[in-house]
Amino acid sequence: MAESAESALSVIYPENANENKENEKCSFEPEKKRQKTEAHSSAIDFKLEERLSGILCCAVCLDLPQTCYQCCNGHLMCCGCFNHLLADARLKDETATCPNCRCEISKNSCTRNLAVEKAVSELPSQCEFCALQLPRNSIEHHERELCSERPSKCKFSRIGCPWHGPYHELSRHEGSCVHPQKSGLEIMESLNKIDDIQEAEHRLYKDIFNLLSFEKVTFNDLQLKPYRTDDFITKLFYETSRFSAFNHQWVIRAKVIHDQKDPAHSSERSLSYQLVLKSKINQPITLHYMVLKGPYGEMKVKPAIYKHEFSSDSVEATHQDLPVIDAIECNKLLAAKTINMRLLMFQLPS
Ligand SMILES: [Zn+2]
Ligand SMILES: [Zn+2]
Ligand SMILES: [Zn+2]
Ligand SMILES: [Zn+2]
């Protein structure tokens, strides 16, 4: 076993050696790399899996990539880190580079590495609940449906039972759970909470249906493109080209909001956008508007309706959240060249 493991590795290591020989530009840290290689080959007692993990891991976060990209010199990056590097470069107005060899990286110059993805899916991974070792490609199913330690909730949680615990204790708890015996009066509070959440959702959809019944409704499929401000320290912003709706000209502007001074140092990013009127108007118009993914977009948004009364004194709506579901989605948008979306506008009858 140890011998076959060793021969498997000798197939992998020469690639590292070639890389240094063939590509002189790539030898930024040859000393380190050689040391690492030697350290690996001397530690024969390490399991093959562990050694492969060290080779197949993402160069940035060292995790094993489920979706794997590689630079033109073959350095590996997981999908999340790849998008993060591209998004960082966009924010700093720099060219994104591979953290290993500094070659340019972009959606066009980098390719997926399917062999790495498949190899990674065969490597063992530990169930986060019971510590069982399973191939990566079956761990999700195990953790969701099979693991006896997976966290579970009592089936009476809807009527207020707070119990949660490992799955193997669930049936014993449910057998003795006191909540089914509670009176209607006692379970009202937790039912009200569920109602509140559902009502808020209901209200949103009712509002959308109401807006869709307005006399004047329009939509535009727009593309936000990145620009830099002329300031000494330039800032990234996005703008669409002009589009017309309700006989006026409009644009959408968007910017990155973040909790720190330098957005490149923050991972908790989000985007805000504003609707700007570009034509002169004599009479104020009140608009409701909202953004959806649209046919060409990729962003995952929750619908959110905003409203603004446009007049000759107020041609810019206040900046509102672009309701992308999370910071990872936000990085994906920043990593892309442009942001595609559909803007729906509803004019309030005057
Ligand atoms: Zn990574
Ligand atoms: Zn590279
Ligand atoms: Zn498990
Ligand atoms: Zn219970």
Distance, CA 148 to ligand 3 centroid (Å)?
A: 6
Over residues 108-155, the pLDDT tens digits come to: 999 999 999 999 999 988 899 999 999 988 999 999 999 999 999 999
Ligand nearest to the CA of 77: 1
Lowest mean pLDDT among 2-6, 45-49, 58-62, 312-316: 2-6
Q: Three-class SS of residue 310?
A: strand
Question: Which comes out higher in pLDDT, residue 153 or 297?
Answer: 153
Among the bound ligands, the one closest to the CA of 104: 2
Question: How far is CA 121 from each of CA 53, 64, 116, 140, 203, rounded to the nearest angstrom?
Answer: 11, 9, 8, 11, 43
For residue 56, the ligand closest to its alpha carbon is: 1
- E-strand ranges in 140-235 read 151-153, 164-166, 216-228
Query: What is the Å distance from ligand 2's center to 307 Cα?
Result: 47
What is the SS3 assignment for 215? coil
Hey, which CATH number is domain 2-122, 3.40.50.970, 3.30.2290.10, 3.30.70.100, 3.30.40.10?
3.30.40.10
Higher pLDDT, residue 268 or 254 = 254
216-347 has which fold?
Answer: 2.60.210
Higher-pLDDT residue of 259 and 255 is: 255
How far, in Å, from the CA of 127 to the mean position of ligand 2?
32
Cα 158 to middle of ligand 4, angstroms: 10
Which residues make up the CATH 2.60.210 domain(s) of the chain?
216-347
Of 159-163, 264-268, 298-302, which gets the smallest average pLDDT? Answer: 264-268
170-182 pLDDT, tens digit per residue, is 999 999 999 999 9
Rg (CA), the chain: 27
Nearest to 123 by CA among 133, 114, 110: 133
Give ion ligand 4 contacts, CB < 5 A.
154, 156, 161, 163, 177
Q: How far is the CA of 149 from the centre of ligand 3 (A)?
A: 6
Closest ligand to residue 61's CA: 1
Cβ(319)–Cβ(272) under 8 Å?
yes
Structure tokens at 31: 């000393």
Mean pLDDT lowest among 25-29, 116-120, 163-167: 25-29
Look up residue 12 and give its two tokens: 């992998």
Q: Which CATH superfamily is domain 123-179 in?
A: Zinc/RING finger domain, C3HC4 (zinc finger) (3.30.40.10)
Report the separation in Å between the CA atom of 124 and the middle of ligand 3, taken as the mean of its atom positions: 13
Among 21-30, 112-121, 275-284, the minimum mean pLDDT is found in 21-30
Give yes or no for residue 190 having a pLDDT over 60.
Answer: yes
> Quick check: 222 and 240 in contact, CB under 8 A?
yes
Report the distance separating Cα 322 and Cα 324, nearest Å. Answer: 6
Q: How confident is the model at residue 47 (pLDDT cuts 50, 70, 90)?
A: confident
Coil, strand or helix at 102:
coil
> What's the pLDDT score for residue 34?
45
**What is the Cα 345 distance to its own chain's centre?**
27
Q: Give 203 Cα–ligand 1 centroid separation in angstroms.
A: 40
Altogether, the residues listed in the chain come to a count of 350
Q: Where in the chain is the domain with CATH 3.30.40.10?
A: 2-122, 123-179
201 alpha carbon – ligand 4 mean position (Å): 27
State the Cα–Cα distance between residues 131 and 36, nearest whole angstrom. 29
Ligand 2 center to 58 CA (angstroms): 11
Mean pLDDT of 183-197: 92
Instruction: Report CA(100)–ligand 1 centroid distance (Å).
Output: 13
**Residue found under tokens 């709506």:** 317
Which ligand is closest to the CA of 151, given by its number?
3
Between 31 and 116, name the one with better pLDDT: 116
- Distance between CA atoms of 323 and 331, rounded to whole angstroms? 14
Q: Assess whether pLDDT exceeds 70 at residue 33.
A: no
pLDDT, position 110 = 95
Ligand nearest the Cα of residue 158 is 4
SS (H, E, C) 234-287: CCEEEECCCEEECCEEEEEEEEEECCCCCHHHCCCCEEEEEEEECCCCCCCEEE
End-to-end Cα spacing for the chain: 81
The CA 78 to ligand 2 mean position distance, Å, reads 13
Ligand that lies nearest to the alpha carbon of residue 120, given by its number in the listed order: 1
**Which ligand ends up closest to the CA of 131?**
3
Neighbours of ion ligand 2 (CB under 5 A): 71, 73, 75, 98, 100-101
